[in-house]
Amino acid sequence: MTLARLTSPGAAVPATLAPAPTFDLEGVLASIDTMAAQKPVAAQIVSVANSDDTSAAALAQILAADVALASRVMKLANSAYFGMRGRVTSLQFAVTVVGFTTVRTMATVAVTDLDDESRLPADFWRTSTSVALAASTLAPRFGERPQDALCLGLLAPLGVALLHHNDQEGYAELSAAEPTATGRRAAEVRRYGIHAYRLTAVALEQWGFARSMVAPLAAVDDLSDGDAGLLRAALELAARLTVADHQAVPMERLTRGLLREDAVPPVMDRVRAEAEELRLAMLGQ
């Protein structure tokens, strides 16, 4: 598959925006590889964490070489989310508690500079942690593992960060002009030839993440795709909590009837209670 250029020839550009810069997907992904070279421990974790030959002891040994990242993993393991307040005292135990996929997700955050809020759109992490906690809480209803859903939610907005970094002023204007998530994704396709969640899917696929992480991102707008229902529900819940004047979309419609509106309030309560602590753990604050 050729990834060199995904900007659609002749694609319509909103009149309020300046012409988009040439969006070279291959170049964007290569720039992440360049960043990875500056964070070799995190890059190594992204590479080896899903290997069948990697043990918790081996992963903890690699992780120990990056004090900041190791501290974040320890903090997350002792957070309210895992219910282990103060009981995780070793890095190997922390790796076991949070799971390999979560450690790999945290390393991906470090590699892609998502831990630097100065380079991100406003409220990026507030939205990301809300999506992650909503997805994790709802996961059993969709037959998914909560920790895998947490990681999907945390990494889903990676494409938003990449588009923002590539076209900061233009992407800010695009976001302001499109108050709805569906409208924003359509505008992203017009401007860049790809929407942010599809961009995340391409990146995660290139790095060898499981199909269960990749497929929902690519199919998020296909209401007939049941595999993306959990992600759509989590995105909707996060929008209700973080977007002013958000026009709610019925959960039954987004999830093909798997989730009813009466199940939403307790999920929103949990997200409100735990999102900030998760953000601080992910950012090492």
Whole-angstrom distance, CA of residue 180 vs CA of residue 196 = 14
How does residue 18 score in pLDDT terms, banded at 50, 70 and 90?
A: low
Tokens of 194: 């790809």
Q: Express as a percent the part of the chain with pLDDT over 70.
A: 92
What is the value of pTM for the model shown? Answer: 0.87
- 93 has a pLDDT exceeding 80: yes
- 5 has a pLDDT exceeding 70: no
Average pLDDT of the chain? 88
- 133 has a pLDDT exceeding 90: yes
3-class DSSP state for residue 5? coil
pLDDT at residue 182, rounded to an integer: 87
pLDDT at residue 10, rounded to an integer: 37
Of 88, 36, 120, 92, the closest CA to residue 281 belongs to 88
Whole-angstrom distance, CA of residue 131 vs CA of residue 126 = 9
- Max distance between CA atoms of the chain, in angstroms, equals 58
AA identity, residue 23: F
Mean pLDDT of 101-120: 92
Mean pLDDT of 233-257: 94
162 close to 199: Cβ distance less than 8 angstroms? yes
pLDDT digits (tens, 9 = 90+) for 63-86: 999 999 999 999 999 998 998 888
Looking up tokens 């009466």 gives 262
